[in-house]
A and B are shown apart, each in its own frame.
Chain A
Amino acid sequence: MVRPSQRTDPIVHNRLAVLRVERGLSRQELADALAVNYQTIGYLERNEYNPSLDLALRAAEFFGLPVEAIFSRQPFAPMSSQLYASASPGARPGEGTT
């Protein structure tokens, strides 16, 4: 559990922070749901700790998403760029789908 810049082991990136905020959860609430210490959520969100497979699966189950939607060995692109990249130039997300 060192800073990401100091780590030599592979980093497992995740979207826990985005998903947690999106659902209006505090770290403590997410920690309770995943049965971990609330500080562990913080370390996970900052990529300072790689979760076990069990914890990753529990998180996926809790958020109702595939595990690869939450955890990845490659850094996730920002949500905004993913949303706007899929839309046509100049259009807002959701436009032109009618």
Chain B
Amino acid sequence: MTSRTTPRSDKRIDRLSRRTRRVLAVATMVGLPGMFAWSTFWMGTTAPTVVWGPISFVLIGATIVGSFVLYRYIRGRADMPGAHLDEREQQLRDRAWILSYQVLSAVVLAVVIFLGIDVFVFGRQVVVDAGLVNALVLSTAVLLPVLPAAALAWIEPDVPADF
């Protein structure tokens, strides 16, 4: 029999609405790749660094702050073996893992299709340089571990008002 009888605290972070959590999850997942995309775009323009800096800071900040809040919100529920979770929480965690897998598969598939179209339809070349590898490695290393937390924050229903 599993048990998790310690009530969650009344801190605001534990009572984030589902809408807020979903916004955070999207901001977290989009922030870092967005920063790389913005930097790539910026390098092709003549815009000064003072324009690049704040926007990059906001984008990377979204991932950093979002990751912290999401991890704090799920507090190990999405990435632990589950001995301390009750049956409802385990079901929720399993759904989050499934959603994470689906999102990851969809992203990989979308990238492959996009590159395929770019190369075979438009005849462009994909240049795998240090910048691209750096962006891919960093995004994967940062976002992949956050994905289950974001998925759980995305699907968990709102805590009812009578709690």
Q: Does any Cβ of A come within 8 Å of B4's Cβ?
A: yes
Assess whether A36 is in contact with B87, with CB atoms less than 8 Å apart.
yes
- B8 CB-CB contact with A under 8 Å: yes
- B residues in contact with A2, CB < 8 Å: 157
- Closest chain A CB from B136 CB (angstroms): 35
In the complex, whether B88 has a CB less than 8 A from a CB of chain A is yes
Q: How many A-B residue pairs have CB under 8 A?
A: 53
Contact flags (1/0) for B118-155 with A, using CB distance below 8 Å? 00000000000000000000000000000000000000
Question: With A and B bound together, what is the CA distance between A38 and B163 in angstroms?
Answer: 9
Contact of B92 among A1, A46, A51, A55 (CB under 8 A): A1
Interface residues of A in 1-57 (CB under 8 A from B): 1-2, 27-28, 31-32, 35-40, 42-43, 46, 48-49, 51-52, 54-55
Is B44 interfacial (CB-CB < 8 Å)? no
Chain B residues contacting A37 (CB-CB under 8 Å) are 4-5, 7-8, 85-86, 88-89
User: Number of B interface residues, CB 8 Å?
Assistant: 18
Query: Does any Cβ of A come within 8 Å of B47's Cβ?
Result: no
Decide: A39 near B5, CB < 8 A? Known: A49-B88, A52-B87. no
Residues of A in contact with B, size category: 20 to 34
Contact B88 A35 (CB under 8 A): no
* Residue numbers in B under 8 Å from A27 (CB-CB): 163
Interface of B, secondary structure class, is loop
Residues of A within 8 A of B92 (CB): 1
Closest to B2 in A: A35
Of all chain B residues, which has the CB nearest A48? Answer: B157
Contact of B157 among A1, A31, A58 (CB under 8 A): A1
B54 at the interface (CB under 8 A from A): no
- Out of B5, B87, B159, B162, name the residue touching A32 (CB < 8 Å): B5
Query: Chain B's nearest CB lies how many Å from the CB of A30?
Result: 10
Q: How far is the CA of A39 from the CA of B3 in the complex (A)?
A: 12
Closest to B8 in A: A39
Interface residues of B (CB under 8 A from A): 1-5, 7-8, 85-89, 92, 157, 159-160, 162-163
Known: A37-B4, A40-B86. 14 other contacts (CB 8 A): A1-B157, A28-B7, A35-B3, A36-B3, A36-B86, A37-B86, A38-B5, A39-B8, A39-B159, A46-B160, A48-B157, A51-B87, A52-B87, A58-B1
A to B CB contacts below 8 Å, 10 in the list? A35-B2, A36-B86, A36-B87, A37-B4, A37-B5, A38-B5, A40-B87, A42-B160, A51-B87, A58-B1
